[in-house]
Structure 1
Amino acid sequence: MKTLLAAIVFALFSSLTAAAETPDASAFFAATLHNPDDKPAALSRFKGKPLVVNFWARWCPPCRAEIPELNAFQKTHQGRIEVVGIGIEDDAAAVKTFVREHAMNYPVFLARDQGQSLMTALGNRRGGLPYTLFIDRHGRVVGQKLGLLRKGDLDAITPQLLAR
């Protein structure tokens, strides 16, 4: 029954992402952003890993609401799937405080002035938040979601992220 439910949720999730053109993940891997300590970090270090890439902002209520789900997902799939948060922010000190207050247990980066262009290159032409991209170990985008991410969305995409 659980498998059937997961298949149904996945089919619904896939239909949400199929309407948009599948983006190329190369812009993600080519980017160098800053960590909350304001040090540059090349995202190429995530090549070869299944990824959940979540764009968010401190002022965005749905972004805040999905952090517990992302924390739980990271904890459950640690070592198999990596969650990466990209704050559409430029204030490193404020992001560092936010990350600590929300106990974000996954890598977080600041997009600064690259945020909108990076999201657009990765398929978010509307520029809305939150925006989540799912990238498999081969660097292919296997799904995307504009709006609040829920546990069912993560459960539905997990088999594709873990596929060989």
Structure 2
Amino acid sequence: MDNKKKNKAMKKTWIQYGTFAVVAITLYATGLHTEVIGFAQRGLLATGLMNPDVAEIAQARNDESNDNTALISNLDKADYNLKLIDKDGKTRSLEEFKGKVIFLNFWATWCPPCVAEMPSIDKLHEEMGDDVAFVMLSFDDDFEKAKAFDKRKGYDLPIYAPASNLPAMFQSSALPTTYIIDAEGNLAFTHKGMADYNDPEFKEFLNNLK
């Protein structure tokens, strides 16, 4: 009798493992695993633990006597020598946005943290897109995938593909990576990893960079 129970329990366990395996294979085969993982990571973003301390950065910018030079990234002039391809296939340049605050984000559709933070960026763009230039630079091998993702999600974000080599100051091995350039052309902010950018403190930070 005990052997029958053990065999039944083992059979049930193998069925569960098999079900999980089929689901996992299906998700990877369809590419949906990225969005599933991204959705899970969005819960972590909701805690605010991943957000950069922009208040500290802002204080460093405004305090000329601050000795923490690691935070005073505004001393570095942004390199606008970056060519872009927009959704319509036109070649653009980062220099076109000179004089405005620029939100430059490196992302890809296959990157779960990128997918996780995208809704917050979309909401930020809806609110501040007239005052801040958003440059969502896709690193997908096929730019059509990025455009399809943007359309399917209903974001209508200003997405681009790189049309030239990245300037040294924008070369990052991490996705997502976000750079903020202030209206005076200074690199004011660099953040590697995901964050919730639809945050009141971050919005205030951007407004102070105009």
Q: Which amino acid aligns with 2:188?
A: V
Q: State the alpha-carbon separation in 2 of the partners of residues 129 and 50 from structure 1.
A: 21
Query: What does residue 138 of structure 1 align with?
Result: 184
Residue 142 (structure 1) shift: 1.2
1:162 is aligned to 2:207 = yes
Query: What does residue 63 of structure 1 align with?
Result: 114
Residue 59 (structure 1) shift: 0.4
**Per-residue CA shift, 1:16-69, capped at 9, x if unaligned?**
xx747835421xx22112123332112211111112111001100000111110
Identity of aligned residues (%): 25
2:85 pairs, out of 34, 39, 43, with: 34
Is the Cα contact below 8 Å between 1:129 and 1:146 reproduced in 2? Answer: yes
| TM-score normalised by length of structure 2 | 0.60
Q: State the alpha-carbon separation in 2 of the partners of residues 159 and 12 from structure 1.
A: 13
Residue 161 (structure 1) shift: 2.9
2:143 pairs, out of 92, 95, 117, with: 92
Identify if the C-alpha distance between structure 1 residues 104 and 59 changes in structure 2 by more than 3 Å, giving closer, same or farther. same
Q: State the alpha-carbon separation in 2 of the partners of residues 13 and 21 from structure 1.
A: 7
For 1:3-152, what aligned pairs fall within 5 Å after superposition? 9-11=53-55, 19=70, 22=73, 23-26=76-79, 29-111=80-162, 114=165, 117-118=166-167, 120-122=168-170, 124=172, 127-151=173-197
Equivalenced residues, count: 147
Identify if the C-alpha distance between structure 1 residues 111 and 162 changes in structure 2 by more than 3 Å, giving closer, same or farther. same
Residue 99 (structure 1) shift: 1.6
Query: What does residue 5 of structure 1 align with?
Result: none
Q: Which amino acid aligns with 2:185?
A: G
Q: Which runs of 5+ in 2 are unaligned?
A: 1-51, 60-68
| TM-score normalised by length of structure 1 | 0.74
User: Aligned-residue CA RMSD in angstroms?
Assistant: 2.8
Is the Cα contact below 8 Å between 1:9 and 1:156 reproduced in 2? Answer: no
Structure number with the bigger relative contact order (C-alpha 8 A, sep ≥ 6) is: 1
Q: State the alpha-carbon separation in 2 of the partners of residues 61 and 106 from structure 1.
A: 18
**Larger Rg, first or second structure (1 or 2):** 2
